[in-house]
Amino acid sequence: MSEYGTQSNPLRVAIIGAGPTGFYTAEHLFKQKEYVVSVDMFDRLPVPFGLVRYGVAPDHQKIKSVTAVYDRIAQNPAFRFFGNVQIGKDITVAELRDYYHQIVFTTGAQSDRRMNIPGEDLQGSLPATDFVAWYNGHPDFRAYDVDLSQESVAVVGVGNVAMDVARILCRTPEELAVTDIADYALEKLRNSNVKNVYILGRRGPAQAAFTTPEIKELGEMQDTDAYVEPEEAVLDPLSEASLADSSDRATVKKVEVIQSYAGRPSSGKSRRLTLRFLVSPVELIGNDEGQIVKMRIVKNKLYKTDAGSLRPKATEEMEEIPVGLVFRAIGYRGVPIPDVPFYDSWGVILNKQGRVIDPETQKPVLGEYTGGWIKRGPSGVIGTNKPDALETVQQMLADMASGQVLSPECPDAQAASHFIAEKQPDYFSYDDWLKLDALEVANGKAQGRPRVKFTSVADMLTAVGKR
């Protein structure tokens, strides 16, 4: 086998997905000094950054500054970006094997988990994933329709995504107008009729998945009162006991904040956000037109599993709440890439510490790796993907050392870019992105906003002069 990983014959790596994990993978590869590596990063969208651009809430701008780190990684001369190229559609994985020694899938989680209850497909029942993508200006969701003429909305789940969705529904147009929320979403939210938002947790306050700053923020909105049913804010004996003899200060703090909302009298703000605990939706009920009008929920009790965690169990007690819109924020879900082994029940690429595994032989698939949400499931903040990417890169380096890499026919950067341009003439380079970025920021500046996003691929292409 010919030498690779040298100046004249660099190790060629394709990274599929330009979210945080893709960038951290590139960063770790560039940091090691053993091999000369060159990276081509692909994304199905013209623009990079994945959920940092299309997930993170518009009223959380600060965290988006993490992209400055990604910009720096992209400045490495051995880095190239090919946006608007979907692997599995524009280019197949088999074709990539002709050009790269190693391929890393960092495609995130593009879909949602379902509640599996009757009525879930009624009009007004929507995954939070779509709503999030819509208000963030994701090009796939421009035509998305959400009926904000409804007065009452339920958000199922008590993770940070549920917090985001509830906040965006409750913010005033003034609060939103200074963010990079999509213009069409701002318009629609400006005319929103929503008065009541319920957030439904199936377990108690001590098991809520959201973090303390997020729950605190709910109590600090301009025109929305946060409220918790007093009896649901009290910890049940099992939670009380497990919290008492643990040193889990973060949870203690979180419970304190939740309890501070208990029974709070209304301060006359126009919207009300109610956090419910120990309840699960059992059915969505529609009217003759198939539009949701109410939701049946059951009260839960916690029980302790053998392993020690506290799980919900339905009681006999039911309740109905009138709602016209239901967002399920109970988790994202990865989607398979054609020809890549997938573990369907969990929505992840089958892997061992980042090496893609063949389900038949349980042995690694030569030259294929994975990282981030599509590797470990849809959990963790942006920074969590850094140690995750490192674990994968360590496997890649070990395999380079033992010669377990693909033997591409044309391990050549130029040959690769010719091939890509043939398959997708409208690909976006990093320079194209920087141009677009500058335009968005300039358009934002005029309005006192961080940026105004281009929200269709066609507009993006036109803006950088490709059309």
Partner 1 sequence: MKVRRILATKGMRVITIAPDKKIRDAVAVLAEHNIGALVVADAAGQPVGILSERDVIRKAAENEQVFDLFVSDLMTRDVITGMPQDDTHSVARTMTDRHFRHMPIMDEGRLIGIVSIGDILKAERDQYRGEIDTLETQIMADKD
Ligand X SMILES: NC(=O)c1ccc[n+]([C@@H]2O[C@H](COP(=O)([O-])OP(=O)(O)OC[C@H]3O[C@@H](n4cnc5c(N)ncnc54)[C@H](OP(=O)(O)O)[C@@H]3O)[C@@H](O)[C@H]2O)c1
Tell me, residue by residue from 280 to 309, as one string, x for binding to partner 1 by CB under 8 A and - for no binding: -------------------------xxxxx
Show contacts with ligand X in window 196-215 (CB under 6 A): 201-203, 207, 209, 214
Question: Binding of ligand X at residue 137 (CB under 6 A)?
Answer: no
Q: Total binding residues for ligand FAD by CB under 6 A?
A: 36
- For residue 85, the minimal CB distance to ligand X (Å) is 26
Q: Does 239 bind ligand X (CB under 6 A)?
A: no
Q: Which of 13, 15, 41, 50 binds ligand FAD (CB under 6 A)?
A: 50
Compare residues 185 and 382 and give the one whose CB is closer to partner 1: 382
Task: Return the C-alpha torsion angle 14, 18, 19, 25, nearest 10.
Answer: 30
Partner from ligand X, ligand FAD, partner 1, none contacting 88, C-beta within 5 to 8 A by type: ligand FAD
What gap in Å lies between CA 180 and CA 60, rounded to an integer? 10
Q: Which of 105, 118, 190 is nearest to 149 (CA)?
A: 190
- The distance of closest approach from Cβ of residue 56 to ligand X in the complex, given in angstroms and rounded to an integer, is 7
Q: How far apart are CA 110 and CA 125, in angstroms?
A: 18
Binds 351: which of ligand X, ligand FAD, partner 1, none (CB < 5-8 Å by kind): partner 1
Helices and strands per DSSP (H, E), number in the chain: 18, 20
Q: Which helix (H) or strand (E) holds 389?
A: helix 385-401
Task: Single out the segment in contact with partner 1 by CB under 8 A; choices: 59-67, 111-119, 124-132, 406-414.
Answer: 59-67
- Phi then psi for 76, rounded to 5 degrees? -60, 130
- Cβ atoms of 375 and 348 within 8 Å: the answer is yes
Torsions phi, psi for 16 (to 5 deg): -105, 105
Pick between residue 181 and residue 420 the one whose CB is nearest to ligand X. 181
Q: Give phi and psi for 70, each to the nearest 5.
A: -70, -35
377 binds partner 1 (CB under 8 A): yes
Specify the 3-state DSSP secondary structure of 268. Answer: coil
CA angle 251, 252, 254 (to 5 degrees): 60
User: Among ligand FAD, partner 1, ligand X, none, what binds residue 159 when CB lies within 5 to 8 Å by partner kind?
Assistant: ligand X
Residues forming the site for partner 1 (CB under 8 A)? 61-63, 65-66, 69, 207, 242, 246, 248, 305-311, 343, 346, 348, 350-354, 357, 359, 362, 375-377, 379-388, 391
